[in-house]
Amino acid sequence: MTDFGEMMDAETIFLMLIGVVAIFGLQSSMAMAMRHHLFRNLSGKSPCDRLLGSPQAYIGPVPVAFFAAFYYLLLLGLLFNRLLGGEMILNWLSPLILISLPVTAYYAWLLFFKLRIRCMGCVRIQFINVMIALISIGLN
C-alpha cells in the first residue's frame, strides 16, 4: 500500500494549487456574471456597475464574465481529469494558460487606462490569472 506522501509528487501539488486558485476564479467570474444579470434591473453607480454597463464588458451579446467562467470550468475539468488518473494534460493546460495572459493584460489595460475604472471584481480575476500562470511555471 502506498502512503499519501508517495502519491503527492510535485506535479500533483502544482495541479492542486492551480485547481484551488481556479475555484476562486470561477467564484469571482460567476459573481461578475450574476452582477451582469442584476445590472440590467438596477441603476448602480459603482465602478463595477459602470464597467458592466459599458460595451467593453461584452463580446458580442455575451458578457466577458461568462467567458471567464467557462475558462475556469475548462481548467478545473482538465485538472480533475488528471488528478483522477487521466492522461497528461500539460499539452492542453499550458497553451490555455498562455492564452489567458494576453487576454488578462488587454482587459487590465482596458480597465485602468481606457475606461479608467477600478472594478475590484475584475482586478481579482486578473490577479487570479497571473497566480495560475506563476504556479504553472512550476509544472514545466
Can you tell me the distance from the alpha carbon of 97 to that of 99, in angstroms, rounded to the nearest whole number? 5
Tens-place pLDDT, residues 86-122: 776 667 888 888 899 999 999 899 888 988 888 888 8
Per-residue DSSP letter, 55: G
Q: What are phi and psi of 78, to 5 degrees?
A: -65, -40
Bridge partners (DSSP) listed for residue 62: 59
Can you tell me the distance from the alpha carbon of 40 to that of 52, in angstroms, rounded to the nearest whole number? 9
Per-residue DSSP letter, 63: E
Q: What is the pTM of this model?
A: 0.83
Q: Domains in the chain, please, with CATH? A: 9-137 (1.20.1440.130)
The length of the chain is 140
pLDDT of residue 1: 41
